[in-house]
A and B are shown apart, each in its own frame.
Chain A
Amino acid sequence: MAGKVKWVTDIEKSVLINNFEKRGWIQVAENEDWNFYWMSVQTIRNVFSVETGYRLSDDQIVNHFPNHYELTRKDLMVKNIKRYRKELEKEGSPLAEKDENGKYIYLDFVPVTFMLPADYNLFVEEFRKNPSSTWIMKPCGKAQGKGIFLINKLSQIKKWSRDSKTSSFVSQSSKEAYVISLYINNPLLIGGKKFDLRLYVLVSTYRPLRCYMYKLGFCRFCTVKYTPSTSELDNMFVHLTNVAIQKHGDDYNHIHGGKWTVSNLRLYLESTRGKEVTSKLFDEIHWIIVQSLKAVAPVMNNDKHCFECYGYDIIIDDKLKPWLIEVNASPSLTSSTANDRILKYNLINDTLNIAVPNSDIPDCKWNKSPPKEALGNYEILYDEEMAQSDGADRDLRSRSGQSIGLKGYRARDSGKPVLTTWK
């Protein structure tokens, strides 16, 4: 049935609406017949909930997976990655190899994390091994840096101890659950300032895993010089890179918004550190993104009506090791600067081109394999189907076409040909 795509959204952002309108799509209300719904995470809960949910028809597409929180909630992400690592270890997979200190060689990309109050005692044990370490407390269900604080003494989190007498704290409800992670107090600094990376990853299906990485990610800088000094642990302008926090700082600049493109970062690192270590860093970043997706793939509801664009937050430490901090299901579509607006507009545009091919009425049964020309600024990060169908040597280097390769890294370390570790 030919016709224009009917869209709904409950997120009033111009970068979205402009993209829908430019395709000539028609806006409708939620209770009408719609083809495309860009929904907030609350709405997706309703759509797939037992009580209020409803079946989606073949020509309806939504922008979240039903149980995306397996990846996007801080505690569940860590849980799934831990489970994934244990499974690989049980299978005897070379990926789960550990070094002499018992640390995973290839899968140690999430800082040591515990759930509170559930793992309080385990945490205390770990804390006591390194009493001078700093830890970061993050509420599981919040975003934009809200509720985050740093601690370096056990007394600062007495409230979360399980058998604490002052436990009138409502932490028992899952809304107020916290995770506590080892704070990366040696971040890579540029110009003396801490920064993190925001990368966009589009997943069109989890089984087989097909994901794309947006080439135009960016770095978010703090406005204040970094110091690990304990006297500044409370200064969120030093430690938290969220724009929502930084924009209240005295030195926040509205022209560049404290953001650098990833290509700038790459140029800087190549010029000051060399090409090999820079390429290795970026390969590792791609690797950890793919591993995180593989970790949740088995538990993810791979509903064919769904796709999702995640915002990955990554911190690089001063040894050029990337750490996965968290994954966001609803990366901000607010634009803090003019460049930002252009970037997010293009991001949505390219996302829609992949998720809704030819901007036509969608059919959720399609094979989810867009042609190369439709990718725009996305690059294929990992395509499980392609990886499995190619038996022989495949050139995964980013030069030839649009895939990102990790061949060199893997083969060098595990000593085994690449494809076997990927299957």
Chain B
Amino acid sequence: MLEQDTGLSLAIAQIVQRLKGSSLHSQLERQARGSLHKPEIKLDSLKEDIKEFLKTSGLFPSPCHPAAPPEHMKEPLVYMRKAQGSWEKRILKSLNSMCTELSIPLARKRPIGEQKELLNKWNEMGTDEPDLSLFRPVYAPKDFLEVLMNLRNPNYENGDQPSFRNHLGLIQVPLKVKDIPELRDYFSELGLNTGQLGIDDSTQVPPELFENEHVRVGQTVLTEQDSAAAQQYVRQGCPTALRAELWALILNISNQPEDILYYEQLKSNVIQHDLLVDSLIYKDVKLTASNDDYYFVFEDYLYQVLLCFSRDTSVLEHFSYSSATPPKSYIRGKLGLEEYAVFYPPNALSQLNSFIISVAPLCFLYHEPSKLYQIFREMYVRFFFRLHSISSHPSGIVSLCLLFETLLQTHLPQLFYHLREIGAQPLRISFKWMVRAFSGYLATDQLLLLWDRILGYNSLEILAVLAAAVFAFRAVNLMEVTSLAAAEAVLADLSTLKVMPLLQIFLFATVT
């Protein structure tokens, strides 16, 4: 009985916590205040009455098993958790030593003059060029790949010698990944008999066959504001004019006044405090997006979004289901004092490159900063964070790498073996594509079609499938190369690829 009670109280407390600050909360409060004046409500026994009511209403069925410990929600496999933990330690150490070397504090409060200046320049931070030469990236993709390659499950003994029957790739952990029949089933809407945007909207196909109807359905979905229907709909691709709204619908972003206010608050945090990662972010944007043919136009938006993101503590919530843990830092001189702890930019530490590049395509859809920010944040906490933390989740980077290697080894064994022989393990090339969700490699319209499917299937597995499809497409050329550098050259330019035909051919039109 007591357990039930505490379980219920806990649940209630959690719900109240989640609702805090939302408009639903204020509505409930208003209603509650109103109800207080009703005669049936007895104030002294109010708490017990409500509990009784909730129990009998069946909303909270009594738990039968003890609840899983929170670590299991984050990541059930111990060895994965350990690996993530040591990876984080390593990054933090690197960051701390950079601070000491350069004598720059991890965080500091800006003097008023500087605050004013930054506020004035808020819309054009791209033109300011501070001296960033001493900053170096905290780590490179290949460092992360090395860590993943060295993952081993201590409970798994694979005594056999490596042979064709074993896995010849870089990832050596026994996670379950889907094979092609399962993928065909999973991605059934991408099949040859279903209309797709990215294939059936090309100029040779009369629009009456598919496109017009598809657009009409999309508009209906938007009018109905049906999020689940939208998610199903985008599996066949979004018409460009409807994409921004459809994605917002799927991600539950509505840009209410309180959201805009929240963004403004983050902005003022940026103005008031300077974090070391800001310089790292700045440097990364300059190195990547500013030089990109598609994204250079949006450079200033990227700074705004990323700097705000690094101060957004609401993102910390996702750590309850992410294998990562937010590292803490303390304002200078206040080491150990909790109220001066600044939660480090969640994963702003990790793979800064992927961040930047996963914001940039969104600039093609949203030009209002607070909406752009929210869409990005939601995409991050739903999908992109899995690309740079070590976990056993099917959409986690480890599983994606394994899926890619398995697909390639199973269906293009000759190619796989050849590349391995010349020292060009395929994952070494495709890793950087997947870890950035192909942003910066594909043409923007193709990238957006790919991300439509990520949202539609709520999974990143399509990234691994596409990577394998690209290798399959260029297989003939790849068979002729004799070095890693040459293989990289064959796969250097993906900007002319059409994503949907590649996926369709690989999944549905290849003889297995």
- Residues of A at the B interface (CB closer than 8 Å) are 190-193, 221, 223-225, 250-251, 253, 255-256, 258-260, 263-264, 267-268, 270-272, 274-275, 278, 339, 398-399
Taking a contact as CB atoms closer than 8 A, the residue among B241, B298, B299 that contacts A271 in the complex is: B241
A253 touches B123 (CB 8 A): no
A255 touches B291 (CB 8 A): yes
Taking a contact as CB atoms closer than 8 A, the residue among B126, B240, B291, B445 that contacts A275 in the complex is: B240
How many inter-chain contacts with C-beta < 8 Å in the A-B complex? 69
The 5 closest A-B pairs by CB, nearest first: A191-B297, A275-B241, A270-B240, A255-B291, A256-B293
For B292, the closest partner residue in chain A by CB is A256
- Assuming A256-B291, A271-B244, A399-B203, what are 5 further A-B pairs, CB within 8 angstroms? A225-B124, A260-B294, A272-B244, A275-B240, A275-B241
Distance from A306 Cβ to chain B, minimum over Cβ atoms (Å): 32
A253 touches B296 (CB 8 A): yes
B239-265 CB contacts (< 8 Å) to partner A:
239-241, 243-244
Distance from A126 Cβ to chain B, minimum over Cβ atoms (Å): 34
Among A190, A250, A270, A339, the most chain B Cβ lie within 10 Å of the Cβ of: A270
B241 touches A274 (CB 8 A): yes
Residues of chain B lying within 8 A (CB to CB) of residue A259: 293
A267 touches B240 (CB 8 A): yes
Known: A264-B444, A270-B241, A275-B240. A256 touches B127 (CB 8 A): no
Q: Could you jot down 15 A-B contacts, CB within 8 Å?
A: A223-B127, A225-B123, A225-B127, A225-B300, A250-B129, A253-B296, A256-B293, A264-B294, A267-B240, A267-B364, A271-B240, A271-B244, A272-B244, A274-B241, A399-B203
A192 touches B364 (CB 8 A): no
Distance from A135 Cβ to chain B, minimum over Cβ atoms (Å): 26
Chain A CB within 8 A of B367 CB: yes
For A191, the closest partner residue in chain B by CB is B297
For A401, the closest partner residue in chain B by CB is B203
Taking a contact as CB atoms closer than 8 A, the residue among B203, B239, B300 that contacts A191 in the complex is: B300
A191 touches B127 (CB 8 A): no
Among A221, A223, A224, A399, the most chain B Cβ lie within 10 Å of the Cβ of: A399
Query: What 1/0 flags go to B53-65 for Cβ under 8 Å of A?
Result: 0000000000000
Residues of chain A lying within 8 A (CB to CB) of residue B123: 192, 225
Residues of chain A lying within 8 A (CB to CB) of residue B296: 253, 256, 258
Chain A CB within 8 A of B336 CB: no
A272 touches B297 (CB 8 A): no
- In the assembled complex, the Cα of A54 lies from the Cα of B344 at a distance in Å of 78
Distance from A101 Cβ to chain B, minimum over Cβ atoms (Å): 31
B207 touches A399 (CB 8 A): yes
Distance from A260 Cβ to chain B, minimum over Cβ atoms (Å): 6
A224 touches B364 (CB 8 A): no
Taking a contact as CB atoms closer than 8 A, the residue among A258, A272, A399 that contacts B206 in the complex is: A399
B101-134 CB contacts (< 8 Å) to partner A:
123-124, 126-127, 129
For A251, the closest partner residue in chain B by CB is B127
Query: What 1/0 flags go to B433-444 for Cβ under 8 Å of A?
Result: 000000000001
Distance from A162 Cβ to chain B, minimum over Cβ atoms (Å): 43
- Residues of B at the A interface (CB closer than 8 Å) are 123-124, 126-127, 129, 203, 206-207, 239-241, 243-244, 290-294, 296-301, 363-367, 444-445, 448
Distance from A246 Cβ to chain B, minimum over Cβ atoms (Å): 13
Known: A221-B297, A260-B297. A267 touches B445 (CB 8 A): yes
Distance from A189 Cβ to chain B, minimum over Cβ atoms (Å): 10
For A260, the closest partner residue in chain B by CB is B297
- In the assembled complex, the Cα of A220 lies from the Cα of B126 at a distance in Å of 18
Residues of chain B lying within 8 A (CB to CB) of residue A190: 297
Residues of chain A lying within 8 A (CB to CB) of residue B124: 192, 225
Residues of chain B lying within 8 A (CB to CB) of residue A260: 293-294, 297
- In the assembled complex, the Cα of A191 lies from the Cα of B297 at a distance in Å of 5
For B368, the closest partner residue in chain A by CB is A272
Among A221, A250, A271, the most chain B Cβ lie within 10 Å of the Cβ of: A271
B299 touches A191 (CB 8 A): yes
Among B239, B241, B366, the most chain A Cβ lie within 10 Å of the Cβ of: B241
Residues of chain B lying within 8 A (CB to CB) of residue A193: 297
For A259, the closest partner residue in chain B by CB is B293
B300 touches A192 (CB 8 A): yes
B240 touches A191 (CB 8 A): no
Residues of chain A lying within 8 A (CB to CB) of residue B203: 398-399
For B240, the closest partner residue in chain A by CB is A270
- In the assembled complex, the Cα of A223 lies from the Cα of B296 at a distance in Å of 10
Residues of chain B lying within 8 A (CB to CB) of residue A225: 123-124, 127, 300
- In the assembled complex, the Cα of A192 lies from the Cα of B127 at a distance in Å of 12
- In the assembled complex, the Cα of A190 lies from the Cα of B206 at a distance in Å of 32
Residues of chain A lying within 8 A (CB to CB) of residue B366: 272
Distance from B283 Cβ to chain A, minimum over Cβ atoms (Å): 16
A268 touches B127 (CB 8 A): no
B126 touches A251 (CB 8 A): yes
- In the assembled complex, the Cα of A264 lies from the Cα of B446 at a distance in Å of 12
- In the assembled complex, the Cα of A192 lies from the Cα of B430 at a distance in Å of 35
For B495, the closest partner residue in chain A by CB is A339
Taking a contact as CB atoms closer than 8 A, the residue among A191, A223, A250, A267 that contacts B444 in the complex is: A267
- In the assembled complex, the Cα of A189 lies from the Cα of B195 at a distance in Å of 36
Residues of chain B lying within 8 A (CB to CB) of residue A191: 297-301, 363
- In the assembled complex, the Cα of A263 lies from the Cα of B206 at a distance in Å of 21
For B123, the closest partner residue in chain A by CB is A192
For A255, the closest partner residue in chain B by CB is B291
Taking a contact as CB atoms closer than 8 A, the residue among B299, B300, B367 that contacts A272 in the complex is: B367
B244 touches A253 (CB 8 A): no
- In the assembled complex, the Cα of A224 lies from the Cα of B243 at a distance in Å of 30
Among A191, A258, A260, A398, the most chain B Cβ lie within 10 Å of the Cβ of: A191
Residues of chain B lying within 8 A (CB to CB) of residue A258: 296
Residues of chain B lying within 8 A (CB to CB) of residue A339: 293
For A256, the closest partner residue in chain B by CB is B293
Among B129, B292, B444, the most chain A Cβ lie within 10 Å of the Cβ of: B444
Distance from A336 Cβ to chain B, minimum over Cβ atoms (Å): 13
- In the assembled complex, the Cα of A210 lies from the Cα of B126 at a distance in Å of 45
Residues of chain B lying within 8 A (CB to CB) of residue A268: 364
